[in-house]
Chain A
């Protein structure tokens, strides 16, 4: 037992499956499968990595029970016999590393990810809220087909060596749709009363029990609140849970909330949602039933996890993104190395952001995700050729490079012209919906102080001569980027995002933001202003179709909720033409009709960024090995700076 987290590292039994600790890797879609819905080799390494990291239970999943139940063709179809060989490898390796593994099965029902959507199997014909597609009301034969698909898939899971089966009655899927008064308007025995709406779930659970026998645990992932006014709420979910418990149909409940896609932010909460926001859901459930309950919802810290257990709000702690970001969270926590844990910041750019585009899962902080075979735990090789490396720039790219290169045994000298590390992260973290980016900096700084082979020089601006005098084996240029406002758009009160975020501007009441990029930066600055400057009136002008068009829609949802509550107005489809006599002249992208803004207090221009790379070009040809990473290569996202650095540091 760990001395540090008494309850978190105590054993727990679900039916007869003994777990080594209370941490559960929650089921999610990884987009690692092949196009015909069979799991790939990557999937094996993905789950093995989490088992290596020390997790107690893995619930792998979001497996479809039939072709009609796939949300997209890259969702694994568990009813197909050909999944068994790969599944067997996953379960065997996970068991080898001491974790247990359950498989989660579902039928997508009225929620699909492809566009345009194919048949949406649904209890009633309604307009599916997120896509505007009309659903198909399924008949008795189709209901039977669904039931038998669950039965068949559960058999396949057990045959593949899974320790238990989880049935999804959660944020999406046909079973919750039947349970939900929002979707289910049927008048037969599957609709109407509570018992009727619960009937399909009950029949499915009974059938699975019959097919896999009594020794294996069967659990459900249960949506506790649909966050729909005509949907079901906490009390209804508890009633349903009690009903299943009384009829002895299940062995545990894995808590969940929200629906895909209408209240997606409650299902996969972004950074703006407080850590552990949903503890009340598992706590309320636990007070009404005696079955084991798994908590969920932005839990990324062992202290927080232990507190939830001590509060008796849950029996087990569910983590998905935290274990994607740092698979070794359980191991590190057990040793008491809490600061060494790299925490998920819920940025939504890597994991969710990729998967909704059917791209293999990634993580902005952990470049190994989806590539565990090559970059996973213990894959970092010590170098046999120790090099002296100068890193210019202590932003995210420079820091990440130093971390990995130092771990490999190279000798690093890092120069940073400011008196602090972190570069643009220091400004990024001021934007409310991006504030946890400070964690990236905290983690990297903590790593750097651990290694004696890193020397950090702050407040030192490196010149070509300085470097050549040292004559290092490798030079890394990680000098970042700067904002650039073209001459024709400069007025007296024109500012860049950097000036605004560092407080070097004269704010006024009437603020014009022109956002050429439609990415996080523009709306982020708008959010920052509404948060910290009272009475600011923002007119947000962009050539895109809407404000922040390129922002992940989950973050956008929250940004819009906040911005439209304040004094914020967006004018899309407009480009800036010029600034003349302190007047801003915009033009409609399509009609080329101009409009002029005469009166404003400040104008914020979000657009051009240029790499600070003079040193690179000066040294080109004069150095033994010269590389540029991060924004010095090209201004891009944090994720790509980390990727550049990680890839390079592994190859040097």
Chain B
């Protein structure tokens, strides 16, 4: 298999983010930055393949200098190289401009296998993977749970859909977007170290500066709304059969599975919080 480049994003830890109740904007102050968990799964899969096929894994991100923390995280987990694309003119890029910039750098670096997370936890658009694919004019596969096999330039993947799975074969070069899976992730270390990071700016990539940054971004965020319909009680899906509905009520939305408890629709209830404290 060819060498892999993994696109990663630095995101605020959204489990700790609060929303400004008046302006409805995200209050990022004092909130730590982490690797987008979806990207972490993509990286994990790449590192798994690295061992298996003895190939090279690189990490790529675009953002301000601070974003090198997440690249160091990737290196500490076992990535071989890390690229930071940073430029003041890139500030304010939406998903279209970001994908355009990343695609240009990937093309310059010459990678044929591109991994990324299905979406980011701070904006959840899911645009980046497919957009890079379009800019590079290569096949894209999304919602991947795992890579099943690789043989003769053909990658076999397990793609999750609403009803189950599709098994898809795709010929390289291609871009793959990964979901979070049940796999236990290896932890990396965030640091501000600069020495192993290769830094690129806008002049290194062959691109019209009017097509990136704020200028090249047609998306405008009109308003962010707080979802105030969070439910603090057990919910029961009407599509289940009567017996299943009664069963969920009887068990209070908690199901025991071998060694763990599974919560069904009770994430915000006092009970779920108590269980977490007891655990």
Residues in chain A within 8 A of chain B (CB atoms):
225-229, 231, 233-235, 263, 265-266, 272-274, 276-280, 283, 287, 307, 311, 313, 558, 561
Contact = CB atoms under 8 A, between A and B. Distances in A.
A159 to B, nearest CB: 41
A584 to B, nearest CB: 32
Interface of B: 229, 231-236, 238, 241-242, 245-247, 249-250, 252, 271
5 contacts: A225-B238, A263-B242, A263-B246, A279-B233, A311-B233
Contacts of A307: 232
A229 B241 CA distance: 6
A227 B242 contact: yes
Given A235-B238, A283-B231, A277 B246 contact: no
A266 B249 contact: yes
A385 to B, nearest CB: 49
Contacts of B241: 229
B242 A229 contact: yes
Contact of B249 (A234, A273, A311): A273
Given A272-B250, A558-B250, A280 B234 contact: yes
Contact of B233 (A229, A263, A272, A276): A276
Which 10 pairs across A and B sit closest by C-beta, in order of nearness?
A: A279-B233, A274-B252, A227-B242, A233-B238, A234-B238, A280-B235, A277-B249, A229-B242, A311-B232, A280-B233
Given A229-B241, A274-B252, A266 B246 contact: yes
Given A225-B245, A227-B242, A561-B246, 19 more contacts: A234-B238, A263-B246, A265-B246, A266-B249, A274-B234, A274-B252, A274-B271, A277-B234, A277-B249, A277-B252, A279-B233, A279-B234, A280-B236, A283-B231, A287-B229, A307-B232, A311-B231, A311-B232, A311-B233
Contacts of A311: 231-233
Contacts of A227: 242, 245-246
Contacts of A266: 246, 249
Contacts of B235: 280
Contacts of B233: 276, 279-280, 283, 311, 313
A233 B245 CA distance: 11
Name the residue in B238, B242, B252 with the highest tally of chain A Cβ atoms < 10 Å from its Cβ. B242
A313 B231 CA distance: 9
A565 to B, nearest CB: 9
A233 B238 CA distance: 7
Nearest to B253: A274
Nearest to A279: B233
A287 to B, nearest CB: 8
A539 B232 CA distance: 41
A280 B245 contact: no
B251 to A, nearest CB: 9
B194 to A, nearest CB: 50
Contacts of A274: 234, 249, 252, 271
A561 B250 contact: yes
A233 B244 CA distance: 13
Contacts of A558: 250
Nearest to A278: B249
Nearest to A257: B249
